[in-house]
Structure formats: C-alpha cells, structure tokens
Structure 1
Amino acid sequence: MNVPKCPSCHQSNVGVLDGQCAVCRSCSDVKRSVFRFCMACQREWPRSAPITSSCTLPNCALRAALLSDTKITDPHSSARGCPYFRACPGCKTLLTHNGKGCPNIICPQCNTHLCFRCLREFCPGIQNIETLGFLTHRLYLFQDNDIIPCRIVDNKQSLTVLGL
C-alpha cells in the first residue's frame, strides 16, 4: 500500500484517522490546528463534518478516479501512457479509452468530442513515421500551418478546468 501524502505540503507525515480521513501532522503543526483531508479526493476534510469512513465532499469518487496513478500500458494503444480514466469536459462522465484506433473519442453521454491524450476538442490523429526501419506513431495538432505536438495531459491539470 502506498503511504498517503498530504495534498497541502506533499509530505508523508500523515496519520489515518478512519477510512478516507487522514491528518497531516506537519500541516497541523504549522497551522496550529488539526489539518484533516480525504485520502481519495485529496481535499481538506470539512471542519464541521464528522470523521467518518467515507468522504462526503461532492465528486469525491470522480476526483479519486482522476487522481489515480493507473495508466494505459498497452504498447499498441494510441492512448498508451494516458491516465486510465478521463472526465468528459462536457458532462464530467468518467471515460476510458478502448485502446483501439485513434485517441479521439466521443462521450456516449453527451456526444462531446475529445482527444484522450491532450483533452483538446479535436486532434487530427496519428501520423505514421518510419524511424530506423520501425513504424512509430506521433500525434500532432495542425493549427494555422503550425505543427503542435499532441502531448498527454495529466488529469491533475484538468481538475480546475472541470470545476472539480
């Protein structure tokens, strides 16, 4: 099991109180009051909330899935290296890529189009490039005659954009 880290100071000086609730000893010392947080969604535990085994903060399970370290590992997948879960920017439905075809997907809930790698609304897909006798795949976005590489975006970067 991974040692939990505090979302505020990123240290491992953490004690588990009950279930998902943990306390950071370092932050508690600095703030001179007990700093509790949810180990799943990485947000401060509400001061007025009782210490229960389950977090009651909105979208806790969704945030926990998006903060997961699990990545797509299939070497043949166009989504290799991406987080296993993504949230649709339109409706926040939890999505995953089936590993086949290009990284562009359509949310089955609201029909929003997105690239599973860079989370842009549209990415032109995979360009096949012959390198040292091997066929490799590179993703590029063409915009105003400029080539912009399609880079994998970490889910942590999208949480604020999604309002989570």
Structure 2
Amino acid sequence: MNAPKCPGCHKSEGTKQVDGQRAVCRSCSEAKRRVFNFCCACEREWARDASIANCSLPNCALRAALLSDKQIDDPRSSAKGCPYFRACPGCKTLLTHNGVGCPKINCPKCGTEFCFRCLNKLCFGINDLTFLRLQRGLSLFQDNSINPCRVVNNTQMLAVLGL
C-alpha cells in the first residue's frame, strides 16, 4: 500500500496511516510542534475533536471520489481520459459518464447540464467547434477565441464546490 499524501507538505515520505482513515505526517508534526493528523481519503487535516477512526469532515466521501486517480479508459467513449467521477456543479451529486453520445451530461437529480470533459456549462466540443469555424468561414485552425474542449482534472471542480 502506498503511503498517503499529506495535505500540509504535499509529500508521501514520512507519512503513515495510523488507523482507519487517519494518518500522521512526521515532518508537519515537527514543523507545527504538535501531532499533525490528516484523512487519507479526503486529504484534509483531521478534525481535532474526532476520536474515531473514520473521518468526520463534511463531504469526505465526495472529495475522496473526486481526488481518485481512476479515469475513463474506454477508447470509444467521448469522455475518455476524464476522471471517472465528477460532481454536479448544481447539487454536488456524484456522477459518471455512460460513454455514449457527446460529453455533455445532465444531472438526473437537479437537471444541471455541463460538459463532463471541461466542466463548462457552455462547451464547444470538437464537432461544435468545427461547425462554428466553418459557419464563420474560418479554417479549422483560425480564430483562437474559440477554444476546443479539453479534459480537465477535478481540482477545478473541488474549488467550484468549495471542497
């Protein structure tokens, strides 16, 4: 098992999982002059008053899923290369793409529509981009104001959700 990554120093060296989801970082403990505990799953500092082995921080499971390295690897999927999990920007429901059709997704819970690849509500996917450029009489490589849809990681999603 890999050593957990510390949210304080962003390193795995010198960290050790203590019990359940709780881990300790030796270098941060020395720097802060107290034991620095953190959650292995959501990579946040452990709640000081928590005495249990499971994280009590809000949205721990959601944040852990969004931090996961798992990606969609089906070569036929329009969401290939995307993180396996995304959270709805409207209601924070955890979602994945079914691999069929375009990368746009509608949240089944609140109806929010967004692009699973770039996380934007208004997205110019590769087909939309080609159509827009041809409609404007431009070659496929002109007009840099129209940016193609690119896969982004969940760091942006975590910031949007305040996690």
Considering the TM-score relative to the shorter chain, is it more than 0.5? yes
Separation in 2, partners of 1:2, 1:79: 28
- Give the structure-2-normalised TM-score: 0.86
Task: Give 1:158's aligned amino acid.
Answer: M
- Tell me which protein shows more strand as a share of its residues: 1
Q: Which residue of 2 aligns with 1:106?
A: 106
SS in 1 for 2:61: helix
Separation in 2, partners of 1:124, 1:6: 37
Separation in 2, partners of 1:2, 1:110: 37
Aligned identity (percent) is 67
Q: Which residue of 2 aligns with 1:147?
A: 146
Map Cα deviations across residues 70-112 of structure 1 (whole Å, 9 max, x no partner).
0000111110110000000000000000011110010000000
Map Cα deviations across residues 123-146 of structure 1 (whole Å, 9 max, x no partner).
233329xxxxxxxxxx78x6xx63
- 8 Å Cα contact 1:77-1:100 kept in structure 2: yes
Q: Which residue of 2 aligns with 1:42?
A: 43
Q: Which residue of 1 aligns with 2:96?
A: 96
Gaps of 5+ in 1: 129-138
Structure 1 stretches of at least 4 aligned residues deviating more than 2 Å after TM superposition: 124-128
Separation in 2, partners of 1:125, 1:118: 9
Aligned residues: 153
- 8 Å Cα contact 2:71-2:80 kept in structure 1: yes
Q: Which residue of 1 aligns with 2:159?
A: 160
- Give the structure-1-normalised TM-score: 0.86
- 8 Å Cα contact 2:3-2:17 kept in structure 1: no
CA root-mean-square deviation: 2.2
Gaps of 5+ in 2: 133-142
Map Cα deviations across residues 17-51 of structure 1 (whole Å, 9 max, x no partner).
1100000001001111111100001110011221x
Query: Any residues of structure 2 matched to 1:1-164 within 5 Å, and which?
Result: 1-12=1-12, 13-50=14-51, 52-127=52-127, 146-164=145-163
